[in-house]
């Protein structure tokens, strides 16, 4: 799909909010990195370079559907009810940031384990005849793990309403895809379980919308789909990483040419008379919103120590209550 | 007429009860449907409830646990059968990092009520990896509950009670007891708390603690010692996590002596855990050091040597008597 063949869905009115969410995520990411460098966040994993894919997912999923993220899904999460403050709190090291507005699952850190959770959710959706679907994301490195294979096998076998989206940004921390697998066309992984599969340029909003629309339609009729989305990771793996150790300057520059925000901006400028002053005003507006969230975060009360015992069980066992009271005793003395 | 049942039947009746009373519950595992499970514990349930509620799944234990989590977050109550305890280990990441943490990670917004069942323990001369007793690994996992029955009736009651607790639970089934112990099935409506010990016999001379399959030996030792005028307070631990210390401490405070017997290897075990807590709580009240009779740290050997690993009644009784003297 080319930019000059935009579908009705993607006329300006629809396209502008998508651009806004992409920018919002990128600007939040920049602020997050600064907060981390100032010691206010623990570690942060960004999504820059991958915003078109994630915003398209957020745009196409219905509220009742279930999004099962890994840890690079910030743009989708912002579209599904998470506020920047929630994500700031999460990366600062507080469970209070794991708000689940639509009963989506929380960020998942161990690799590929979320694929199985998603297949379980999809089984429940079909079991309860809900007409909802599940969409789960994973990185390219996750395709090396058994959880991924076990999940696509189960989903295909039981014909579940689910879309698996591989965000192939080319790198699992420092390991490139051709060191993960001999078969770098990741749609081939679907062959072995008899699952539908699609490939998409994950930096191109139009392609993402078109491909995901197809996939979601299949999933709604209980035909699970695997999508191999090719993206670029314009950030380090996390704030604890330095990509310059394993990416050449040439590659880093090449990846910047694939920046999905620049690509969509170009479309807006060429086809919809979007101007620099519009861009500037939009960025200013978003930054002001983020200022408010960061101010709120800085005024947050630190969690009280005894709360770490809560929610381990539905009802706290006696032995845990005793340890909680020992802690209270220790902290008040 | 009262029905005589064995442990496997008690579990089958419990599963049947849950499936019939909770339409959102389902069973899944390997060979549990058409075949009724390798020990026939789920016999007849797929025929009764259909393939969407009793699933013969692909052969992947990690998958069972991970999918169970997804289902549980949508209001399905999954009951997972791991075919043998020695095959659960691939699922440990799902159990430790997700299933037992989901409630805490979301501050209670999502939770993971589910039941994982597995046979455990030696004594049936099964091939290697089929006779594990590694309960202490699971009893060390925050957020998990670990329970084990020691009679057919208790197997039923515990299962039904567990289903009402909204936490992930590992339900350990003593393999050797599946068909060896028969009992009148009487207590349909009897509510059971899943985190409390059961004091089976009261006595003033010593507290004897066991669980699962070793309750057989513990009961016989208790009877034999009574003939020697030694009165044992016999406790079925039932819940390996959390451990019901109030009941245990109250008993040992009374008797001043405590012996703990377990099939699992000694190092970092539940027997040692209980002993350590009793020393902390009751040091001055103990008449003598606590006795632990445990499996050896070599782990369960191949079937040819199993008889040397597993302590029989005579061996346990001799150790208890020698300790008392």
pLDDT of res. A1: 36
Q: Is the minimum CB–CB distance between A314 and chain B shorter than 8 Å?
A: yes
- Dist. CA B123–CA B135, nearest whole Å: 16
- Dist. CA A192–CA A181, nearest whole Å: 15
- Dist. CA A43–CA A24, nearest whole Å: 20
The CATH number of B3-185, from 3.90.440.10, 3.40.50.970, 3.90.10.10, 2.60.40.10, is 3.40.50.970
Residue-range domains of chain A with CATH? 3-302 (3.40.50.970), 306-333 (no CATH)
Name which of B23, B59, B62, B70 to mutate to probe chain A: the one with the most chain A Cβ atoms within 10 A of its Cβ: B70
* Residue in A closest to B108 by C-alpha: A311
Percent of chain A, pLDDT > 90?
Answer: 87
Fold identical between B3-185 and B198-324? yes
Encode burial over B169-201: b for 16+ CB neighbours within 10 A, e otherwise: bbbbbbbbbbeebebebeeeeeebebbebbbbe
- Dist. CA A35–CA A44, nearest whole Å: 10
Whether pLDDT at A45 is above 80: yes
pLDDT of res. A101: 67
Question: Tens digit of pLDDT for each residue in A54-84?
Answer: 999 999 999 999 999 999 999 999 999 999 9
pLDDT of res. A29: 98
- Dist. CA B33–CA B222, nearest whole Å: 40
Nearest CB neighbour to B104, from listed A125, A312, A318 = A312
Q: Is the minimum CB–CB distance between B191 and chain A shorter than 8 Å?
A: no
Per the structure block, which two tokens stand in for A198? Answer: 């699609």
* Residue in A closest to B143 by C-alpha: A312
Contact A317 B62 (CB under 8 A): no
Contact A110 B70 (CB under 8 A): no
Whether pLDDT at A330 is above 90: no
- Dist. CA A101–CA A67, nearest whole Å: 11
A126 C-beta neighbours (distance < 10 Å), count: 20
SS3 percent helix, strand, coil of chain A, rounded to 5, is 55, 10, 35
Whole-number Cα distances in Å, B299 to A42, B83, B132, B303, B305: 41, 20, 8, 12, 11
pLDDT of res. A191: 95
Question: Which chain A residues are Cβ-neighbours of B110 within 8 angstroms?
Answer: 100, 103, 105-106
Chain A window 47-86: which residues touch B at a Cβ cutoff of 8 Å? 66, 68
Per the structure block, which two tokens stand in for B172? Answer: 């350990």
Contact A311 B108 (CB under 8 A): yes
Catalytic annotation, residues of B = 130
Confirm if B120 and B149 have CB atoms less than 8 A apart: no
| Predicted-complex ipTM score | 0.94
Distance from CA of B186 to the nearest CA of A (A): 30
Contact A110 B97 (CB under 8 A): yes
A–B: how many Cβ contacts below 8 A?
139
* Residue in A closest to B239 by C-alpha: A317
Distance from CA of B79 to the nearest CA of A (A): 13
Question: Tens digit of pLDDT for each residue in A234-279?
Answer: 999 999 999 999 999 999 999 999 999 999 999 999 988 999 999 9
pLDDT of res. A2: 39
Nearest CB neighbour to A120, from listed B68, B104, B111 = B68
In CATH, the architecture of B198-324 is 3-Layer(aba) Sandwich (3.40)
Structural domain spans, chain B: 3-185, 198-324
* Residue in B closest to A97 by C-alpha: B106
Q: Is the minimum CB–CB distance between B68 and chain A shorter than 8 Å?
A: yes
Q: Which residues of chain B are modeled with pLDDT < 70?
A: 1, 187-191
Query: What's the predicted TM-score (pTM) here?
Result: 0.95
Name which of A104, A116, A151, A224 to mutate to probe chain B: the one with the most chain B Cβ atoms within 10 A of its Cβ: A116
Whether pLDDT at A141 is above 50: yes
Contact A150 B75 (CB under 8 A): no
Contacts of B15-21 with C-beta under 8 Å, sequence gap 24+, read B15/B41, B15/B42, B15/B45, B15/B79, B15/B159, B16/B45, B16/B48, B17/B156, B17/B159, B17/B160, B18/B77, B18/B79, B18/B159, B18/B160, B18/B163, B19/B45, B19/B48, B19/B49, B19/B53, B19/B54
Contact A317 B68 (CB under 8 A): no
Distance from CA of A298 to the nearest CA of B (A): 21
Q: Is the minimum CB–CB distance between B34 and chain A shorter than 8 Å?
A: no
Question: Tens digit of pLDDT for each residue in A163-219?
Answer: 999 999 999 999 999 999 999 999 999 999 999 999 999 999 999 999 999 999 999
Q: Is the minimum CB–CB distance between A122 and chain B shorter than 8 Å?
A: yes
Nearest CB neighbour to A127, from listed B76, B90, B110 = B76
pLDDT of res. B1: 61
Per the structure block, which two tokens stand in for A102? Answer: 């639509």
Nearest CB neighbour to A150, from listed B62, B68, B143 = B62
Nearest CB neighbour to B66, from listed A99, A113, A320 = A113
């Amino acid at each position: 799909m080319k930019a000059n063949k935009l579908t009705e869905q993607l006329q300006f009115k629809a396209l502008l909010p998508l651009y806004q969410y992409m920018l919002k995520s990128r600007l939040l990411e920049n602020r997050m990195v600064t907060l981390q460098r100032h010691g206010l966040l623990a570690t942060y994993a960004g999504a820059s370079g991958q915003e078109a894919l994630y915003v398209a997912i957020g745009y196409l999923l219905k509220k009742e559907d279930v999004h099962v993220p890994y840890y690079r899904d910030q743009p989708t999460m912002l579209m599904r009810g998470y506020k920047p403050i929630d994500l700031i709190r999460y990366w600062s090291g507080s469970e209070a940031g794991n708000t689940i507005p639509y009963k989506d699952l929380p960020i998942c850190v161990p690799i590929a384990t979320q694929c199985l959770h998603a297949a379980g959710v999809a089984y429940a959706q079909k079991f309860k005849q809900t007409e909802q679907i599940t969409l789960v994301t994973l990185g390219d490195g996750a395709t090396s793990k058994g959880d991924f294979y076990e999940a696509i096998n189960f989903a295909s076998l039981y014909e579940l309403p689910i879309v698996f989206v591989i965000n192939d940004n080319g790198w699992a921390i420092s390991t490139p895809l051709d060191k993960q697998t001999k078969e770098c066309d990741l749609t081939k992984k679907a062959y072995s379980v008899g699952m539908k599969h699609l490939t998409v340029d994950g930096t191109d909003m139009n392609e993402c919308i078109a491909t995901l629309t197809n996939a979601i339609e299949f999933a709604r009729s209980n035909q699970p789909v695997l999508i191999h989305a090719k993206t670029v990771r314009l950030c380090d793996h996390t704030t604890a990483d330095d990509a310059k150790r394993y990416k050449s300057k040439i590659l880093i520059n090449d990846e910047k040419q694939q920046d999905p925000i620049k690509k969509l901006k170009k479309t807006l400028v060429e086809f919809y008379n979007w101007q620099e002053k519009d861009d500037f005003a939009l960025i200013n507006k978003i930054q002001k919103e983020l200022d408010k969230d960061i101010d709120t975060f800085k005024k947050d009360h630190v969690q009280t120590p005894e709360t770490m015992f809560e929610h381990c069980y539905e009802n706290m066992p006696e032995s845990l209550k005793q340890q909680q009271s020992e802690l209270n005793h220790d902290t008040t003395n | 007429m009262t029905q005589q049942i064995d442990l496997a039947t008690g579990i089958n009746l419990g599963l049947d009860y849950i499936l019939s009373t909770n339409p959102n519950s389902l069973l899944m595992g390997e060979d549990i449907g058409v075949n009724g499970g390798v020990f026939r514990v789920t016999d007849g349930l797929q025929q009764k409830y259909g393939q969407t509620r009793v699933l013969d799944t692909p052969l992947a234990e990690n998958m069972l646990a991970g999918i169970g989590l997804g289902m549980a977050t949508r209001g399905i109550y999954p009951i997972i059968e791991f075919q043998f305890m020695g095959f659960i280990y691939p699922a440990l990441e799902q159990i430790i990092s997700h299933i037992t943490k989901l409630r805490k990670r979301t501050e209670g917004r999502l939770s993971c009520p589910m039941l994982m069942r597995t046979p455990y323990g030696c004594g049936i001369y099964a091939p290697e990896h089929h006779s594990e007793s590694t309960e202490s690994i699971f009893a060390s996992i925050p957020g998990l509950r670990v329970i084990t029955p020691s009679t057919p009736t208790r197997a039923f009651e515990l299962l039904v009670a567990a289903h009402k607790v909204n936490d992930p639970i590992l339900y350990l089934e003593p393999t050797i007891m599946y068909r060896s112990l028969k009992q009148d099935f009487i207590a349909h409506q009897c509510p059971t708390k899943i985190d409390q010990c059961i004091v089976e016999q009261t006595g003033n001379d010593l507290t004897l603690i066991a669980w699962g399959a070793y309750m057989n030996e513990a009961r016989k030792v208790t009877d034999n010692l009574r003939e020697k005028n030694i009165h044992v307070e016999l406790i079925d631990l039932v819940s390996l996590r959390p451990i019901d210390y109030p009941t245990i401490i109250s008993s040992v405070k009374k008797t001043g002596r405590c012996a703990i017997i377990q099939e699992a290897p000694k190092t970092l075990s539940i027997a040692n855990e209980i002993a350590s807590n009793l020393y902390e709580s009751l040091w001055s009240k103990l008449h003598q050091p606590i006795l632990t009779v445990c499996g050896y740290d070599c782990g369960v050997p191949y079937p040819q040597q199993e008889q040397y690993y597993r302590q029989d009644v005579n061996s346990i009784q001799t150790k208890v008597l020698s300790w008392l003297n």
